[in-house]
Amino acid sequence: MRLLDALKASTEYLEKAGIDDAFADAEILTFHAAGADRLAAYMDNPEITKGLRAKIRRLMARRAKGEPLQYIVGHVDFLGLTIHVGKGVLIPRPETELLAEEAIRSAGKGGTPPPAILDLCTGSGCIALALAKALPEAEVYGTDVSKDALRFAKKNAGSNGIGNAAFFEGSLFSPLPGGKVFDLIVSNPPYIVSADIAGLQREIRDWEPLAALDGGKDGLVFYRKILGEAGRHLRPGGIVLCELGFGQSDMVRKIAELSGFGRITVTKDYAGIERILKAELDRGMPDSG
């Protein structure tokens, strides 16, 4: 059997399993298993061993069960970084790259000293690490309640050679060093309405960590917590950036206003959805003590 024969058989297998984009997924997994460059694979169409055929079948069986393609391959690209992912960590989405890019622009406008940045609900660390790479003088912190996620975040820091990001286990602001304040706080928090979880694609619902998705009864629980506490952890004029779920911009804007933020703007994503909220601390906030 040759490699393209295996690709054809794999495509048919995934089609029968009801996988959308069966050919694209089969192509990625087949060439990944073979360690083959796409163009070279089509040009050379090499013969494959029984061992490689068995490996390809194993990968296709995982995909047929609904396991996300990114978990099977083991990594995704995120703003030039290779971000390792697997069960227990949320898979970075393209719209989150927009959040990271806006965070880089916002943090990069500061002067001296270098900016201190906090990434809440850091997950794989993709946002924190993109900021740390783009702003090598910055001091970047990431927090998350998930041990599994933080294991990936630390692995991703090491594999990408990034040394100016530190990760802490705990809920939101709780694990931070005492008295630490930031120039920028960024977050892609859980924002899906609890009742909507059951209707998500099975790749998401059955495989990705629900704690990284579930935003409570109205999807706004984490925005209230983050914006309500952020003022205590920001320097004057500090900025908060949050990714938003569909239809949430007006409600989150109101939460930000009530929490003492002004100069609030919302940016749309590639699909025209209001996706990123940016807010500047408008007045002093009381001390947490």
Least confident segment among 74-83, 129-138, 173-182: 173-182
**Identity of the residue numbered 202:** R
The rounded distance, in Å, linking the Cα atoms of 210 and 285 is 32
Are 3-65 and 87-281 equal in CATH topology? no
**Domain 3-65 fold:** Helicase, Ruva Protein; domain 3 (1.10.8)
Task: Please provide the average confidence, as pLDDT, over all residues in the chain.
Answer: 94
User: Would you say the pTM of this structure is higher than 0.85?
Assistant: yes
SS3 content of the chain, % helix, strand, coil (to 5): 45, 20, 35
pLDDT category of residue 222 using cuts at 50, 70 and 90: very high
Q: Tell me which architecture the domain covering 87-281 has in CATH.
A: 3-Layer(aba) Sandwich (3.40)
Q: 266 pLDDT exceeds 90?
A: yes
Residue count of the chain: 289
Q: 19 pLDDT exceeds 80?
A: yes
Q: What is the pLDDT of residue 29?
A: 97
Mean per-residue pLDDT for 30-34? 97
pLDDT category of residue 286 using cuts at 50, 70 and 90: very low
Within 8 A by CB and 6+ apart from 39, the residues are none
Mean per-residue pLDDT for 58-84? 97
Mean per-residue pLDDT for 221-236? 96
Q: What is the pLDDT of residue 177?
A: 83
The rounded distance, in Å, linking the Cα atoms of 97 and 91 is 12
223, 222, 215, 221: which is closest to 197 by C-alpha? 215
Q: 125 pLDDT exceeds 70?
A: yes
Assigned token pair, 197: 């979880």
For the chain, the structural domain boundaries read: 3-65, 87-281
Element housing 183 (H / E): strand 182-187
